[in-house]
Amino acid sequence: MRIAKEALPYSIFLLIVAAISYFFSTIVFLIAILCLSFVLFFFRSPNRKIDYNDNYILSPADGRIQSISTIKNNFQEGEAIKISIFLSLFNVHINRSPVQGEIIGTSYRPGKYLPAFKSHASELNERNTIVVENHKIKVVVHQITGFIARRIVCYKKEGDAVNQGEIFGLIKFGSCTEIIVPSNVELFVKEGDKVQAGKTVLGEVKNDKKQC
């Protein structure tokens, strides 16, 4: 089990607090150790074997599917399907690429910090977007902060190549991840389903013609 490097500052601080409080306050020491345990748990990055299939669209995040809706967006022609995945504090918060391809676009939008489970949070909260394209499909992934999450991390930039299931970022402390795919993708999931990043197949490209 790996731990994301973003855990390091929190871990060092809590270790210092634990070391100092050990000599004068058992309660503070125990609280620091509990917080350290939670930080290590939250930033866990489990090793996952990715079964590559260029027809499949994998989940970009762990969590529960909060909603599936038909929308119009600036990244794709015509209608598209938006799948919103809610991540609780206890889910793995590592984001993985749903398809193999090239990152053809990225954008960051500052915003509010409403609870991630609110239906309008994705339109108002801080958000980072990546667009991944290959010879078959173009998909959009939004990393969205929540009430507790206040920091989005993205390791990739425009022009980078990504493998299917490859880690491209994380969101700290509770959040929402959205994926937008063409409307004629055949979905295998429904609202309320639990999903795992890089493991759960959300849908399948119906034909070899590129969808965009």
Q: Which residues are catalytic?
A: 175
CB 195 within 8 A of CB 61: yes
Residue whose token pair is 């609280």: 31
Residue with token string 């995040």:
61
Evaluate whether 152 touches 173 at the Cβ level (below 8 Å): no
Q: Do residues 204 and 56 make contact, with C-beta atoms less than 8 angstroms apart?
A: yes
In angstroms and rounded to an integer, the radius of gyration of the C-alpha atoms of the chain is: 18
**Sign of torsion, CA 199 203 209 210?**
negative
